[in-house]
């Protein structure tokens, strides 16, 4: 009986050594999480990061009275003085590096360095203090960086609707405005995926 010769390679399969050579590291994508003081940026990064997040939190002292206003977050005792950093692997081809900015205006000089190489940003909003996010939105609009407005729901409570937030911020219709809860990984993930989608859409339009 004649047997058909076995092919030298199986379609879709490569020897182990070749598989290792073909395996590529995930593409790194830098995302910024910005917003006013005490809106939930550090919580956002901590909720989603697959590593222990790097934070630069410092104790708030009496010297910050009248300068740092935590709003309704009366239990807040620390503040970010440089940045937060976390990592999220989307799949084998994509990994997010997430940088949280300091919220106080006196640390704004760090933003130019933090956004270098970033593809997009999530601007976190507290509906009790919508005005606090204006500087971040103005900054990203001037920089031409795609951004998404994420209303941190703080236990599901929003003082204003998403449409009211959009109107108050006077942002373009193509800028997504969404609600999310900074404490929950799945909610943060969904918000960041919208940022990623917007960033990739701009990159594709730029190439076309």
Blockwise average pLDDT, block size 10, the chain, 208 residues? 44 50 79 91 93 67 46 50 82 91 64 88 93 91 95 83 94 94 95 93 78
- DSSP string covering 113-139: HHTTTEEEEEEEE-GGGGGGGHHHHHH
pLDDT of residue 11: 45
Work out the burial of residue 178: count CB atoms within 10 Å of its CB; fewer than 13 is exposed, 13-18 middle, 19 or more buried: middle
What domains can be seen in the chain, in order of their start residue? Answer: 25-207 (3.40.50.300)
pLDDT of residue 104: 56
pLDDT of residue 193: 95
Nearest to 101 by CA among 69, 59, 133: 133
pLDDT of residue 54: 82
Return the ∠ at Cα 40 (arms to 37 and 169), rounded to 5°.
65
């Amino acid at each position: 009986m004649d047997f058909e010769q076995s092919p030298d390679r199986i379609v879709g399969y490569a020897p182990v050594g070749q598989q290792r050579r073909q395996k590529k590291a995930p593409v790194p994508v830098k995302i910024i999480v910005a917003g006013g003081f005490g809106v939930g940026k550090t919580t956002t990064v901590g909720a989603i990061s697959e590593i222990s997040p790097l934070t630069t939190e410092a104790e708030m002292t009496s010297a910050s009275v009248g300068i740092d206003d935590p709003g309704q977050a009366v239990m807040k005792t620390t503040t970010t003085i440089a940045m937060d950093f976390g990592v999220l692997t989307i799949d084998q081809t994509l990994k997010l590096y997430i940088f949280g900015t300091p919220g106080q205006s006196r640390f704004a000089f760090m933003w130019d360095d933090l956004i270098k190489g970033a593809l997009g940003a999530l601007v976190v909003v507290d509906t009790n203090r919508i005005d606090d996010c204006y500087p971040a939105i103005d900054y990203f609009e001037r920089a031409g960086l795609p951004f998404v407005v994420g209303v941190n729901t703080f236990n599901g409570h929003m003082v204003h609707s998403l449409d009211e937030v959009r109107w108050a911020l006077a942002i373009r219709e193509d800028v997504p405005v969404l609600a999310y809860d900074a404490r929950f990984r799945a909610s943060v993930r969904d918000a960041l995926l919208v940022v990623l989608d917007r960033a990739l859409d701009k990159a594709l339009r730029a190439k076309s």
